[in-house]
Structure 1
Amino acid sequence: MAVINSLDIGNSTLNLDSMYAELETYESQSLTPITQQATTVQSQISAFGQLRSALESLQKATTALNSTSALNSTSIISTNQSFTATSNSNASVGSYQINVKQLATAQTLLSHAISSNNQPLGTAGVQGRTLTLQTGKGEPVTIALDDADTSLNGIVNAINKSGAGVVATSIKSNDGEYYLSLSSKETGANNTLSVSVSGDDQLQALLGYSGSDSATGMQQTAAGQDAVLVVNGIEVQSASNTVTDAPYGVTLNLKAVSNGEERLEIANNTADAVKNIKAWVTAYNNVQSVITNITKYTGGSTLSSDTSANGPLMGNGTVRDIQNQLRSVLNTTQSGALTIMAELGITQNTTKAADGSIGTLNIDETKLSSALSSTPQAVYQFFLGDGKATGFSTLANNALDNILSDNYSSKGTLTTAVNALNDSYDKLEVRYDQQQARIDATMARYKSQFVQLKKTIAQMNTTKDYLTAQFSTSDD
């Protein structure tokens, strides 16, 4: 809206500029309630945003608990010489005898001596020359070679850039001779190499290899072989030195042939489960802390006239509903050997926490670790249930979905409340714009009236001056 800096009334005893400003201030007062309501709604939306963030963190912690691997961790407690091992939640706690008989190796081929590493080795001028490499049952890789590519360095570069499952390198011996070495990238007896050259018999004679030694082609210097190990008396073969599920749920990384049997020991790892449960409790307590902050009342025993320090959602029904849904999960008795959280060492505070929050949780880690060690299956059953309608983490996740859901057909408790506030804010913006438009129209009318008044006063002043002058003349 345009602002009138001066109505230029001259020496009139009526200060029209001041009157106009006072009228504008008076008219603008009608915007104050709308602005105050908008500020309140914005603060409530912001407070719900804080609560959503805390609830989403709780949902993330709940999801982490809603799997066997989060609770049923195992770890390797033995130190072994011929292998290293890792275990997952599928591994069975116990002791295993392992003897590594043979490591998996990759096949290696070596060419005859080559006098130079940069001179072409193929027949000059040949067109359509190709080098074909195959590893085991994999797809053959064909490489086109120009004359310049047939030097030892050119062949090495072409092979290594081709993406074939082969590593090529040149080796210089003490007598100055060069050799081409090819190795399969994969270990195992079945990952044998096949090398052939088409369109150049001279290069084929140097590089050709089809699985048997040849006086004119490449020679095998190391055969590909499988790893062989014995696990609790059972022989296991593997094309790789990384052996999975022997025992089940365990990954062995073979390093050397054993001197004899080595003991692999697997134990329950309660530390990870305790960590995941503690993370959930921390997230839950944070939700309670946020709720306390956004719903706080700072007055005394009587209603305070200063409500600026009160929480923006003080007394809000949606927040109470969310609290009740979460408390319902905590108070639900689970079926199984463990029925309530207190049996796991998780209890609710009966007094206010330092930040004033009520209903926060405490953990007795010793009791929790003991339950995980002595009755792990009962702990898993308590949290997981059937994964649909029973189990603590299942119920908690369902409750949080009911609170946070933003699905088109199913809005959660919090989402519905925030959507309603956003609608209210949009309506307040419309009201504000409409009221501002009315104020602008009113002030424009006042301006027109004041300008007309200015003209009238000016005319009256002119008449006054004329009459004064006439009376002065008549007195003479």
Structure 2
Amino acid sequence: MASITSLGAGSGIFSNDLVNQLVNAERAPTEQRLNQKQSLTEAKISAYGNIRSALEALRTPMEKLSTIEGMRAFTGTSSNEAVAGVSIDPSIANRGSYSLDVKQLAQAQSLASGVFADRDTTTVGTGTLTLNVGGVATDITVDGTNNTLEGMAASINEANVGVSASVVDTGSGFRLVMSAEDTGVDNAIQVSVADNDGNNTDGAGLSQFVFDGTASNMEETVQAKDAILDVNGIEITRSSNTVEGVIEGVTFDVKSIGTSTVKVEQDPEAVAGRVQEFVDKFNALQDVIQKFSGFNEASGQGGVLSGDSTVRGIQSELRRMLTTIPQGLEDSPIRMLADVGIKTDPSTGKLEFDQDVFKEQLEAYPEAMTALFAEKDGVEGIAERMVNVASDFIASDGALANRTDGLNRTLESIQDQRDRLDLRIASYEERLIRQFSAADSLIAQIQSNGNFVAQQLAALAPQNNQNQG
């Protein structure tokens, strides 16, 4: 901005205030228009952001309902949790009742050596110790660096072969204990040696740790056992107390000898809860859309997105989904959302959910209910279609992103216009200063000439008076 500190000094007519008033009057209309346009553009960007967030929130519960697993909720109960617990994979489980009679629990084998005087001084022999667990054999070298109970235990643990080893102080000596890390007969431990003393089976040197079915120089303190139980009268054997694969989608956790009845039942509350989440998020989206595109009767004004084609497109697509009949359900007692207790309030566009109706229909027609929501046999259900619709709108190249990108370009254009306005106003201000300065100088000169003439006339006045006398 040009300096105008001396403006008006000559004439007293032109001043800094006058220049500022003219400059502001020139700037104000354009600046006001740009401010209004920027404010509206930023409000639209914010509105699209809120709609995007609401669509993302809606997509989450719909993704759950778009899979068969999301529509299949089961609970498992055991009449005697002390004997057996139960867990369910809802994606593949089915209703059923199972009588369990647990006859034997699975156990992990433990072997104990003879008694030694100490844990880390007395040598135990040298050679190669071979551990065979589950059909996998591992050789462990025992030499002068590890030929004590403690040294052997450390080498076995470092080998990571499914056997843990420790040295136990019995009070009257020390024993090496090897324990299988997994239960069951198949995970029993076999120990063989190549003893450097030349005898691989006697009770001296490294061979005192042999336990291979032929020589048993270690004591089996805990026998390897499989879990044995009857399920509906059929005997089942497993290496673990976690019994899987007997009933599809059902896992028994056996804990003690005894009987229990396990029931697997549909859990309509869980599925209804997922649908309720969808309804809540759908209605929240309607609130957001109403806020930014609806008409406020009190103020007589519409929202910043009133009449927006993108918003209308979102509403149109989602409402179309609400009355869609998936292929294959044309003649089913369940064809659309209204048949399962989900209806639209025409005055608000929001959904109303009758959970009692939903749970009744889920229990009566579980397969049709799944087909209504989830993708099944290559046919998209309503939830899957809504996921796709929401994903299309909020994609990086979707309608919302395109509108937001366009608005951001508008903001850039507004800033360009502001920059040009600043340049124009600066030029205008400089022109005013030049014109006012020139005018000020001219007026000052005129005033100066006038003062001179007045002085000359005043000087002539006495002479005229004398001549007249």
TM-score range, shorter chain: 0.7 to 0.9
3-state SS, counterpart of residue 264 of structure 1: strand
Cα deviation, residue 59, structure 1: 1.0
Cα deviation, residue 160, structure 1: 4.1
Whole-angstrom CA distance in 2 between matches of 1:456 and 1:223? 121
Deviates more, 1:463-472 or 1:372-381: 463-472
Q: Is the 8 A contact 1:295 1:311 kept in 2?
A: yes
After superposition, the Cα gap between the structure-2 partners of 1:116 and 1:459, relative to the gap in structure 1 and judged at 3 Å, is farther
Select which of 136, 148, 152 maps to 2:134: 136
Cα deviation, residue 237, structure 1: 2.2
Q: Counterparts in 2 of 1:122-201, with a 5 A limit?
A: 135-138=133-136, 140=138, 147=145, 150-157=147-154, 159-160=156-157, 163-175=160-172, 177-194=173-190
Amino acid at match of 2:171: N
TM, length-normalised to structure 2? 0.83
3-state SS, counterpart of residue 190 of structure 1: helix
3-state SS, counterpart of residue 45 of structure 2: helix
Post-superposition CA distance 1:197-255 (Å, at most 9, x none): 8897699617744534757x543322323222222233322222111121111011111
Cα deviation, residue 116, structure 1: 2.1
Cα deviation, residue 97, structure 1: 2.1
Cα deviation, residue 464, structure 1: 7.6
Aligned residue number for residue 248 of structure 2: 248
Amino acid at match of 2:360: S
Whole-angstrom CA distance in 1 between matches of 2:53 and 2:77? 39
3-state SS, counterpart of residue 78 of structure 2: coil
Post-superposition CA distance 1:435-464 (Å, at most 9, x none): 333333433444555666677677778778
Q: Is the 8 A contact 2:341 2:358 kept in 1?
A: yes
Aligned residue number for residue 227 of structure 1: 227
Deviates more, 1:22-31 or 1:37-46: 22-31
Q: Is the 8 A contact 2:140 2:155 kept in 1?
A: no
Whole-angstrom CA distance in 1 between matches of 2:438 and 2:290? 60
Amino acid at match of 2:20: A
Aligned residue number for residue 274 of structure 1: 272
Post-superposition CA distance 1:378-410 (Å, at most 9, x none): 21122225465542213222322332233xxxx
Select which of 281, 284, 287 maps to 1:283: 281
Whole-angstrom CA distance in 2 between matches of 1:282 and 1:58? 8
Q: Is the 8 A contact 1:135 1:191 kept in 2?
A: yes
Aligned residue number for residue 355 of structure 1: none
Q: Is the 8 A contact 2:130 2:137 kept in 1?
A: no
Whole-angstrom CA distance in 1 between matches of 2:100 and 2:292? 60
Aligned residue number for residue 98 of structure 2: 96
Q: Counterparts in 2 of 1:306-345, with a 5 A limit?
A: 310-334=302-326, 335=329, 336-345=332-341
Cα deviation, residue 375, structure 1: 2.0
In structure 1, runs of 5+ residues without a counterpart are 352-357
Q: Is the 8 A contact 2:76 2:86 kept in 1?
A: yes
Whole-angstrom CA distance in 1 between matches of 2:7 and 2:142? 93
Post-superposition CA distance 1:71-128 (Å, at most 9, x none): 22111233224211112232221211222222222121212212223436367xx9xx
Aligned residue number for residue 295 of structure 1: 293
Aligned residue number for residue 354 of structure 1: none
In structure 2, runs of 5+ residues without a counterpart are 198-202, 463-469
Whole-angstrom CA distance in 2 between matches of 1:457 and 1:180? 118
Aligned residue number for residue 399 of structure 1: 389
Whole-angstrom CA distance in 1 between matches of 2:147 and 2:442? 107
3-state SS, counterpart of residue 282 of structure 2: helix
Amino acid at match of 1:165: G
3-state SS, counterpart of residue 359 of structure 1: coil
3-state SS, counterpart of residue 108 of structure 2: coil
Amino acid at match of 2:321: V
Whole-angstrom CA distance in 2 between matches of 1:455 and 1:212? 124
Select which of 365, 371, 377 maps to 1:381: 371
Amino acid at match of 1:367: V
- Of all paired residues, the percent bearing the same amino acid is 25
Whole-angstrom CA distance in 2 between matches of 1:267 and 1:282? 27
Whole-angstrom CA distance in 1 between matches of 2:218 and 2:371? 62
Deviates more, 1:248-257 or 1:15-24: 15-24
Q: Is the 8 A contact 2:111 2:218 kept in 1?
A: yes
Q: Is the 8 A contact 1:78 1:266 kept in 2?
A: no
Amino acid at match of 2:16: D
3-state SS, counterpart of residue 421 of structure 2: helix
Q: Is the 8 A contact 2:142 2:152 kept in 1?
A: no
Aligned residue number for residue 439 of structure 1: 425
Aligned residue number for residue 465 of structure 2: none
After superposition, the Cα gap between the structure-2 partners of 1:15 and 1:153, relative to the gap in structure 1 and judged at 3 Å, is farther
